[in-house]
Chains A and B, each alone.
Chain A
Amino acid sequence: MPDATGLELTAHELREVEPEAILDTVFHRGRATLVAEPTHVKTVIGHLRSKGYTFLASLHGVDYYPEEPRLGVIYELLDMKRVDRISVKARLHTEAPAVASVVELFPGAEFPEREVYDMFGVEFEGHPDLRRILMPEDYEGFPQRRDFPVGGEPVLFTYNEEQNYGKWQ
Chain B
Amino acid sequence: MSSLTEDYRRREESITIAHEPAGQGETHELLTLNIGPHHPATHGVLRLLATLEGEVVRDVKPIVGYVHTGIEKTCEDKAYWKVIPVVERMDYLSYYFNAMAFCGAVETLLGLEVPPRAQYLRVIHLELNRIMSHLVWLGTSALDLGAISMFWYCFRERETVLDLFEMSSGQRMHTRYIQVGGVIEDIPQGFAAKVRRFCKEMPRRADQYADLLEKNQIVVERLRGTGVVGEQELLSLGVTGPLLRATGNPWDLRKAHPYSSYDHFDFKIPVGTVGDNYDRFKVRHAEFYESTKIIEQALDGLPEGPFITPDRKIALPPRHELATSMEALIHHFKLVTEGFRVPPGEAYYPIESPRGELGCFVRADGSAKPARVHMRDPSFTNLQALAAMVRDGYIADLIATLAMLDPILGGIDR
Q: In their complex, do chains A and B touch, with some C-beta pair under 8 Å?
A: yes
Query: Which residues of A are at the interface with B, using a C-beta cutoff of 8 A?
Result: 28-31, 33, 54-58, 60, 62-63, 74, 76, 80, 83, 85, 87, 106-112, 115, 119, 132-136, 143-144, 146, 148, 150-151
Distance, CA A90 to CA B347, complexed state (A): 16
Tell me the interface secondary structure of chain A in the complex: mixed
CB interface residues, B 30-85, toward A, < 8 Å: 64-65, 68, 70, 72-74, 76-77
- Say yes or no: B235 contacts A143, CB within 8 Å: no
- Say yes or no: A57 contacts B363, CB within 8 Å: no
CB interface residues, B 236-260, toward A, < 8 Å: 236-239, 251, 256-257
For B235, the chain A residues whose CB sits under 8 A away are 54-55, 80
Distance, CA A108 to CA B383, complexed state (A): 10
From A29, A56, A109, A111, B108 is in contact (CB under 8 Å) with A29
- Say yes or no: A62 contacts B372, CB within 8 Å: yes
Quote the shortest CB–CB distance from B346 to chain A (angstroms): 7
- Apart from the given pairs A58-B359, A108-B384, A111-B384, 19 other A-B contacts in the complex at a CB distance below 8 Å: A29-B345, A30-B108, A55-B238, A58-B376, A60-B374, A62-B363, A76-B361, A76-B376, A85-B350, A107-B237, A108-B236, A111-B383, A134-B65, A134-B414, A135-B65, A135-B68, A143-B70, A150-B73, A150-B77
Interface size class of B (residues with CB under 8 A): 35 or more
How many A-B contacts if CB must be within 8 Å? Answer: 95
For A57, the chain B residues whose CB sits under 8 A away are 238, 348, 350, 357, 359, 376
Distance, CA A107 to CA B350, complexed state (A): 21
- Say yes or no: A112 contacts B380, CB within 8 Å: yes
Distance, CA A106 to CA B363, complexed state (A): 25
- Say yes or no: A63 contacts B384, CB within 8 Å: no
From A31, A110, A150, B348 is in contact (CB under 8 Å) with A31
- Say yes or no: B68 contacts A134, CB within 8 Å: yes
CB interface residues, B 191-243, toward A, < 8 Å: 235-239
- Say yes or no: B239 contacts A108, CB within 8 Å: yes
- Say yes or no: A87 contacts B348, CB within 8 Å: yes
Distance, CA A109 to CA B76, complexed state (A): 25
- Say yes or no: A134 contacts B413, CB within 8 Å: yes
Q: Name B239's closest neighbour in chain A (CB-CB).
A: A108
- Say yes or no: A112 contacts B381, CB within 8 Å: yes
Quote the shortest CB–CB distance from B147 to chain A (angstroms): 31
Distance, CA A109 to CA B376, complexed state (A): 12
Quote the shortest CB–CB distance from B230 to chain A (angstroms): 13
- Say yes or no: B372 contacts A63, CB within 8 Å: yes
Answer whether residue B25 sits at the interface, using C-beta atoms and an 8 A cutoff. Answer: no
For A133, the chain B residues whose CB sits under 8 A away are 64-65
Quote the shortest CB–CB distance from A78 to chain B (angstroms): 8
Contacts A/B (CB < 8 Å), 23 sampled? A29-B111, A30-B108, A31-B346, A33-B346, A55-B235, A55-B238, A57-B238, A58-B361, A62-B371, A76-B348, A76-B376, A80-B235, A106-B236, A107-B384, A111-B380, A111-B381, A111-B384, A112-B380, A132-B65, A134-B64, A135-B65, A143-B73, A148-B73
From A28, A63, A135, B345 is in contact (CB under 8 Å) with A28
**Which 4 A-B pairs give the minimum distances between C-beta atoms?**
A108-B238, A58-B376, A108-B237, A134-B65
- Say yes or no: A60 contacts B347, CB within 8 Å: no
Distance, CA A143 to CA B363, complexed state (A): 17
- Say yes or no: A110 contacts B384, CB within 8 Å: yes
- Say yes or no: A60 contacts B236, CB within 8 Å: no
- Say yes or no: A31 contacts B347, CB within 8 Å: yes
For B238, the chain A residues whose CB sits under 8 A away are 55-57, 106, 108-109
For B357, the chain A residues whose CB sits under 8 A away are 57
Quote the shortest CB–CB distance from A127 to chain B (angstroms): 13
Quote the shortest CB–CB distance from A95 to chain B (angstroms): 21
For A76, the chain B residues whose CB sits under 8 A away are 348, 359, 361, 376
For B350, the chain A residues whose CB sits under 8 A away are 57, 85
For A144, the chain B residues whose CB sits under 8 A away are 72-73
Distance, CA A144 to CA B236, complexed state (A): 27
Quote the shortest CB–CB distance from B82 to chain A (angstroms): 14
Answer whether residue B109 sits at the interface, using C-beta atoms and an 8 A cutoff. Answer: yes
For B76, the chain A residues whose CB sits under 8 A away are 146, 150
Max count, chain A CB within 10 A of own CB: residue among B72, B108, B381: B381
Distance, CA A75 to CA B96, complexed state (A): 26
- Say yes or no: B376 contacts A60, CB within 8 Å: yes
